[in-house]
Amino acid sequence: MILAIDTSSALSALALLDETGAVVREDLAPSGRDFDVVTRVQALRGDEKVHRVVVATGPGSFTGLRSGVSFGLGLAMGLRIPIVPLPTLAIQAARSPDPVTAVSEAGRGRVYHLAPGGPMGLAEPEDMPRGWPVAGWLRPATRQSVAAAGLRLVAEEQLRTFGQAVALQLESAREVAYGSLRMEYMQSFSARTSP
């Protein structure tokens, strides 16, 4: 089984996929102190044996990223199984069957974004790229600000699940050595803003 973990944004997600990429089970809940990665992974995994770990590497908050990536890395190292990093915004983009601007919560009303063919950026909602609908996990207040800026948010029911998006991304993703896994924090990304 493949275990996927994303604790980088407004929602945290876990998915268990079989070796063909089919989603077996998923867990999605608001991020924060109440999202206990260890307990939720144990409940999701049950008696299934994990053979590979996938972690969302940001951009995202320091604490959120560290909780999911650290647990995933520790699990992979402990079991001596491969770990695969996936960028948070690439996962969000893969959730849509159509081109979208992928977004993730950046805090303080800001949004990390990745428009089709464009560079990653950090912006206030009114400064985000135009031309595509928006897909991703944002806090309610940030969602309202994005909508107020005139951007159309794709409804969750029109998007693939987290596990389905991870399966799509795994088709071209590569495993990395444990020591070379890198996360994208708000602090290191904050200098890159949209034009």
User: Whole-prediction pTM value?
Assistant: 0.91
How far, in Å, CA of 99 to CA of 93, rounded? Answer: 7
Across all residues in the chain, what is the average pLDDT? 92
Domains of the chain: 2-88+161-189 (3.30.420.40), 89-157 (no CATH)
CA–CA distance from 45 to each of 21, 42, 72, 91 (Å)? 15, 5, 13, 21
pLDDT higher than threshold 60 for residue 187: no
Amino acid 146: pLDDT: 96
For 33-68, write each residue's pLDDT tens digit.
889 999 999 999 999 999 999 999 999 888 888 899
For 101-132, write each residue's pLDDT tens digit.
999 999 888 999 999 999 999 999 999 999 99
